[in-house]
Structure 1
Amino acid sequence: MMICKPIITRLILLISAFLSLPFLAFSQNDLIANIPSRNTISLNGRWQYIVDPYETGFYDYRFKERKEADAEAYWSSDVQVNKMDRKEHGYIDKYTLNVPSDWNSQNDRLYYYEGTVWYKKSFDYKKSTTSNRLFIYFGAANYRTDVYLNGKKLGMHKGGFTPFNLEIADSVLKEKGNYLVVKVDNKRYADEIPTLNTDWWNYGGITRDVKLVELPASAIIDYFIQLSPASTNGEIEGWVKLNNAVPNEKATIEIPELKVKHTFNVNNNLAEVKLTLPQFQCWLPENPKCYKVIIKTNSDRVEEKIGFRTVKVAGKSILVNGKPVFLRGISIHGEIPQGKRRAQSQSDALQLLTWAKELGCNMVRLAHYPHDEKMTRLADSLGLFVWSEIPVYWTIDFSSAAVLGKAQAQLNEMITRDHNRASIIIWSVGNETPVSDIRTIFMKTLLQTAKKTDPSRLVSAALEVDYHSAENLRSVDDPLGEYVDVVSFNEYLGWYGGTPESCRDARWSTRYNKPLFISETGAEALGGYHGDAGTLWTEEFQERFYKEQVAMLKRMPDNYVGASPWILADFRSPRRNNPTYQEGWNNKGLIDQQGRKKKAFYILKNYYNQIQTKN
């Protein structure tokens, strides 16, 4: 049966309206911003665990979710109260895991494991005052997390790379011997974000910091203190968000170094902030100046370092503080190759970003998910532009409003955590998504969500192009280009199509009058494997590939604004199964599995040094 195009169009419009429904939240509380500035107690360290592939601790033998009071549930006490008390679970020190960390790298039997692991931690805690509120905060846990304290469920969160916090009621908390149990499940599903099919390791576990956070009854939950996108003279347009604000509450913004101090009225838990900075230094990679900003109310106070800069697109250029910039970038996975594990510490972040600086970068693409907050805060102080991305990757279910809701929730959590980071200039809503009408509606909705949530930054997505074409002229004409600020595309000319010499006649263009950015390009090489430049997998072949790419990049059109080649360091991927040259590694890194720089590293470094010297 043939359906006429007008009917299809109306259906698409109806679906678009449906998909524009507000995003779904999975944690029960508003995300608390700037955790490092809060009154916190770390719960990091050794946690006891139970591996539960059949989810016995969550479902009974009829596969029904266990009731809260079920003694056989793994969130219930494992202490035997008498000789006849049958306990079929238990937490002991023989089985412990480090938190934060993934479980795959800590125990060989969990290397490929996808399923449920129960974590248990005991702690004592007495609040400073009875009126204060207590929360438990997770930097991230992959993927679904169910949290229980003393037999009571606090809540659930979905998303493996974004933070969440849950309130602990006074009726649940004990001063001594609190019994915290966390169910973490990293199974992949077709209707989740990301979906079943990715090109990175599915690390499971509590992979980022866990903290108890104590707040006053009326607290500062979040704030946005940034230059207005249209600022020409230091105009700040922002807000301070409270919970349980008292009548006639006021919020004060203070920047001591600039002798700025302004007070604003709070209405419906929100204070609108408008002020003009006196003479100040803009944040730039060459001068990553950040100012101490203090936000105060009658009962709460937070502070952090914030840099001030503007970013916008003007025609074919990206302007930072009103001047064009060229992005000398590199893509990065949140992984430490020498340890075959998730990046988790300040020293891990320093290793990755120091490598990027050694390469001559002024920009990093943090792919394909929000990285640890330590990365974005360190990028602020080191002077690196950041592209931050949610894991809308390849072929997710673009027809599902529920999946859209999950993507929007992760997008909101990413932006909320980092919207005061000067380093972040681009929010990305996905990578290499196949073109279709329903996909474009889905992705457009995410772009609009990002712009509405944070109008001060640019939005983009990494698009695909046809690098198999025999034609020399290659046009980036994905319909999503109409809605992004920067037209970004991944190209592997000479690796997945043609030979490196195919670059010599290649000409790139886009039908959109916007900046053009190469978000990925690269070729694999096994570190330490040498041969002639015509042999795949050798460092010499990768070096040849980059020489041809660099020559092509020097001929790009005038709207070309930079690149972030794939990738800084080799990383683990179950898709990569050549038994000689891969063995579960994607070896497109410029730095190998042992942390050694490959020959291609120096080709890209030289290109970036030439650009830096020229500019």
Structure 2
Amino acid sequence: MIKPQSNHLRQTRSLDGFWNFKRDKDGIGEARNWFLGFDSECEIAVPGSWNEQRTDLEQYFGIAWYSQTFVAHSSWQEHGVSVHFGSVQNHAKVWLNGTLVGTHEGGSLPFQCDLSRCIVPGKENLLVVQVDASINPWDLPPARIATNAKNEGFHNSNPSVTYDFFPYGGIPRPVSLQVTPTRESIDKIRVDTGLNLESKTAKVGITVTVKDSTACSVEVRIEKAAATAALDSHGVATLYIDIANPRLWDLKTPELYVAEVTLLKDDQAIDHYRQTFGIRTIEVVGNSLKLNGKTVFLRGYGKHEDFPVLGRGLSLPLIARDFDLLKWTGANSFRTSHYPYAEEWYEFADRHGILIIAETPMVGLCERLFESDDIKAKALKLVRDMVDRDHHHPSVIMWSVANEPWIESQKGTDFIKALLSEARSQDSSRPVTYVAHNGIEINAACRDCDIVSVNRYGGWYDYPGDIETGTAYLGKVLDNFHSTFGKPILLAEFGADAIPGEHSLPSIMFTEEFQADIIEAQILAAESRDWVIGTHVWAFSDFKTGQSITRAVRNHKGIFTRDRLPKMAAHCIRRIWTETGQA
């Protein structure tokens, strides 16, 4: 689907604000017809996670109900009207005026519901959303089953999840109405760019999918060039436009184009959409990653959508601040660990020249999940949906299909290989990877990666407190992965916790000095290997986790605090990366 947009034919109306909210601890809401209205216990802000907006909701992981009203314009009788959710964590059911209009599983990607057939023009309409944030061992990412805890990723936390970040609930991204002149409207736009660096030409393919019509045609205009095609029997049209001497999207010159897509019926425009895209190449050549034919070295971070009070809620000022800090440290990239982020992050990166490794929410995968055909089908769909949403972003240079899967059998290897194959089949223009941990013996699927991504914490989890031995061990791990799989390596996670304000001479674990020392030693060790294509420090900033004896309030591996104040490591990294320059 395409993100809501306002133009001369389309209207949007934001539904962000304070929504009525009620917990449903016993799951009785549907039986009692709460979708027709309910007695609110409080108001909750949207976008935003519910857990940090009220003290009594901080540890609530269950079902809750949201409601909001809006007045539909009297002209909307024949219009196409839908409601678009940037995301709901984790599962949603949506009703309008008591009629179920849509459901969605998963908390990191958008969905929309058609309201056209049950909206009441000129009247107040009631929108109700059931949000299920239950801790479920069969979700992606999954909760933990105690009997299997040893091999289920990060464990021994409260709540009991397999991953090391907080399982927020709520509606963390914007909600808006999209109104089109008719129900026949543009549903999807895919832009594929083929660039020939030698001839300095580009061929742009635009595939447009239309809903509720096959009797229309599509016109696409890119600057002075244009093409028109009729829809096929499936409501799809594919058009090609050649561009001579294209302006290339790059780190220093993030040039963007706009495809003006118009839906025509009887030669009249009935819908219009402006789709941005960039023209560039990204490929693995030998032991190098090439952007537009030139070697690029990835310097950056893993990070989270996480901030005080907001939880995972979208904040535009936070995006601006984080990108400013990325560039201040000399970084040129980050990974969307461990789920797709809000679209606004990618759009900002498109405009400002930052590279993104886009990751699925497949973290905490383990053997019982690999044995389930239903989970595999759900995981493959998540890969497709992520690629479908983010394919047009030139900032996205790689797909990561999983983080730290615990593989104990051929089924696990085949599962990860299937995800890699799915990503590659959906988009052959970008490298694919998954992020490995532990040893080569459980990571045979790395053979199917274009780039092998490795997480390792020498001197922290391995040889704790011993930077010299830990760094040497990290080097041996990287050497082993490279010699075994023969692929370029991304050091995707490394680092140490530092509690802000803790200092020691000599440096010891949990102090700012220790964190700065270990990160510097391991950046230099990794970057001395000519087959390492990047170093991503874990993490950009401190973030909220479940409660655990291994986490003092939160994960403190950030080089910035949770509210974005620099630790010593931030200054250290800035010195290293700005002195050597961005690739």
TM-score, normalised with respect to structure 1: 0.84
- Matched letter for residue 435 of structure 2: A
Choose 567-576 or 234-243, whichever is displaced more.
234-243
Do the aligned partners of 1:332 and 1:567 also contact (CA within 8 Å) in 2? yes
Q: Tell me, in whole angstroms, the C-alpha distance in 1 between the residues paired with 2:33 and 2:288.
A: 58
Is residue 584 from structure 1 mapped to residue 561 from structure 2 by the alignment? no
- Matched letter for residue 605 of structure 1: R
Is residue 448 from structure 1 mapped to residue 460 from structure 2 by the alignment? no
Structure 1 residue 176 displacement after superposition: 1.3
Q: What residue is the counterpart of 1:460 in the other structure?
A: 433
Q: What residue is the counterpart of 2:34 in the other structure?
A: 74
Q: Tell me, in whole angstroms, the C-alpha distance in 2 between the residues paired with 1:523 and 1:288.
A: 33
Aligned alpha-carbon RMSD (Å): 2.1
Q: Tell me, in whole angstroms, the C-alpha distance in 2 between the residues paired with 1:265 and 1:176.
A: 38
Q: What residue is the counterpart of 2:271 in the other structure?
A: 300
Q: What residue is the counterpart of 2:220 in the other structure?
A: 253
> In structure 1, the residue corresponding to 2:64 is in which secondary structure?
strand
Spell out the pairing of 1:344-359 with structure 2 (5 A cutoff). Answer: 344-359=314-329
- Matched letter for residue 451 of structure 2: V
Q: What residue is the counterpart of 2:157 in the other structure?
A: none
Is residue 609 from structure 1 mapped to residue 578 from structure 2 by the alignment? yes
Choose 398-407 or 236-245, whichever is displaced more.
236-245
Do the aligned partners of 2:87 and 2:109 also contact (CA within 8 Å) in 1? yes
Q: What residue is the counterpart of 1:122 in the other structure?
A: 69
- Matched letter for residue 217 of structure 2: K
- Matched letter for residue 360 of structure 1: G
Q: How many residues align?
A: 543
Is residue 104 from structure 1 mapped to residue 69 from structure 2 by the alignment? no
Structure 1 residue 77 displacement after superposition: 3.6
Is residue 398 from structure 1 mapped to residue 370 from structure 2 by the alignment? yes
Q: What residue is the counterpart of 1:416 in the other structure?
A: 388
Spell out the pairing of 1:462-477 with structure 2 (5 A cutoff). Answer: 462-466=435-439
Structure 1 residue 601 displacement after superposition: 1.2
Deviations 1:227-268 (A, max 9, x none): 127775212234122223343x33222122xx2222233323
Do the aligned partners of 2:65 and 2:128 also contact (CA within 8 Å) in 1? yes
Which one of the candidate residues 509, 515, 519 is aligned to 1:536?
509
Deviations 1:579-610 (A, max 9, x none): xxx43300000001342111111222222223
Spell out the pairing of 1:373-384 with structure 2 (5 A cutoff). Answer: 373-384=343-354
- Matched letter for residue 559 of structure 2: L
Share of identical aligned residues, percent? Answer: 27
Q: What residue is the counterpart of 2:542 in the other structure?
A: 570
Q: Tell me, in whole angstroms, the C-alpha distance in 1 between the residues paired with 2:210 and 2:573.
A: 47
Residues 536, 186 of structure 1: alpha-carbon distance in 2 compared, 3 angstrom cutoff = same
Residues 524, 77 of structure 1: alpha-carbon distance in 2 compared, 3 angstrom cutoff = closer
Structure 1 residue 343 displacement after superposition: 4.1
Q: Tell me, in whole angstroms, the C-alpha distance in 1 between the residues paired with 2:137 and 2:304.
A: 22
Q: What residue is the counterpart of 1:372 in the other structure?
A: 342
Structure 1 residue 565 displacement after superposition: 1.2
Do the aligned partners of 2:413 and 2:443 also contact (CA within 8 Å) in 1? no
Structure 1 gaps of 5+ residues are 1-30, 59-65, 67-71, 79-89, 467-474
Q: Tell me, in whole angstroms, the C-alpha distance in 2 between the residues paired with 1:73 and 1:447.
A: 43
Q: What residue is the counterpart of 2:230 in the other structure?
A: 265
Q: What residue is the counterpart of 1:309 in the other structure?
A: 280
Structure 1 residue 319 displacement after superposition: 1.6
Which one of the candidate residues 465, 478, 489 is aligned to 2:443?
478
Is residue 40 from structure 1 mapped to residue 8 from structure 2 by the alignment? no
Structure 1 residue 47 displacement after superposition: 0.5
Is residue 198 from structure 1 mapped to residue 163 from structure 2 by the alignment? yes
Deviations 1:364-385 (A, max 9, x none): 1111001111101001111101
- Matched letter for residue 328 of structure 2: E
Which one of the candidate residues 457, 462, 469 is aligned to 1:497?
462
Structure 1 residue 41 displacement after superposition: 1.0
TM-score, normalised with respect to structure 2: 0.89
Deviations 1:353-402 (A, max 9, x none): 22211111111111100111110100111110101111111234111111
> In structure 1, the residue corresponding to 2:538 is in which secondary structure?
coil
Q: What residue is the counterpart of 1:598 in the other structure?
A: 567
> In structure 2, the residue corresponding to 1:277 is in which secondary structure?
strand
Q: Tell me, in whole angstroms, the C-alpha distance in 2 between the residues paired with 1:449 and 1:238.
A: 21
Do the aligned partners of 1:221 and 1:243 also contact (CA within 8 Å) in 2? yes
> In structure 1, the residue corresponding to 2:324 is in which secondary structure?
helix
Deviations 1:140-178 (A, max 9, x none): 010011111111111211101110011114245453121
Q: What residue is the counterpart of 2:412 in the other structure?
A: 439
Q: Tell me, in whole angstroms, the C-alpha distance in 2 between the residues paired with 1:154 and 1:244.
A: 17
Q: Tell me, in whole angstroms, the C-alpha distance in 2 between the residues paired with 1:375 and 1:267.
A: 34
- Matched letter for residue 603 of structure 1: C
Q: Tell me, in whole angstroms, the C-alpha distance in 1 between the residues paired with 2:64 and 2:121.
A: 25
- Matched letter for residue 568 of structure 1: F
- Matched letter for residue 125 of structure 2: N
Residues 238, 137 of structure 1: alpha-carbon distance in 2 compared, 3 angstrom cutoff = same
> In structure 2, the residue corresponding to 1:604 is in which secondary structure?
helix
- Matched letter for residue 601 of structure 1: A
- Matched letter for residue 46 of structure 2: V
Do the aligned partners of 1:331 and 1:564 also contact (CA within 8 Å) in 2? yes
Q: What residue is the counterpart of 1:335 in the other structure?
A: 306
Q: Tell me, in whole angstroms, the C-alpha distance in 2 between the residues paired with 1:597 and 1:494.
A: 22
Deviations 1:449-502 (A, max 9, x none): 212222222211111134xxxxxxxx6982111211111110111111012112
Residues 481, 569 of structure 1: alpha-carbon distance in 2 compared, 3 angstrom cutoff = same
Q: What residue is the counterpart of 2:146 in the other structure?
A: none
- Matched letter for residue 451 of structure 1: R
Q: What residue is the counterpart of 2:191 in the other structure?
A: 225
Q: Tell me, in whole angstroms, the C-alpha distance in 1 between the residues paired with 2:390 and 2:103.
A: 22
Q: What residue is the counterpart of 1:545 in the other structure?
A: 518
Structure 1 residue 33 displacement after superposition: 4.4
Choose 494-503 or 234-243, whichever is displaced more.
234-243
- Matched letter for residue 497 of structure 1: D
Is residue 318 from structure 1 mapped to residue 283 from structure 2 by the alignment? no
Is residue 385 from structure 1 mapped to residue 355 from structure 2 by the alignment? yes
Do the aligned partners of 1:33 and 1:221 also contact (CA within 8 Å) in 2? no
Which one of the candidate residues 287, 290, 293 is aligned to 2:256?
290
Q: Tell me, in whole angstroms, the C-alpha distance in 1 between the residues paired with 2:191 and 2:371.
A: 36
Is residue 235 from structure 1 mapped to residue 203 from structure 2 by the alignment? yes
Q: What residue is the counterpart of 1:27 in the other structure?
A: none
Q: Tell me, in whole angstroms, the C-alpha distance in 2 between the residues paired with 1:496 and 1:74.
A: 48
Is residue 274 from structure 1 mapped to residue 240 from structure 2 by the alignment? yes
Q: Tell me, in whole angstroms, the C-alpha distance in 2 between the residues paired with 1:36 and 1:386.
A: 27
Q: Tell me, in whole angstroms, the C-alpha distance in 2 between the residues paired with 1:230 and 1:481.
A: 30
Q: Tell me, in whole angstroms, the C-alpha distance in 1 between the residues paired with 2:501 and 2:341.
A: 29
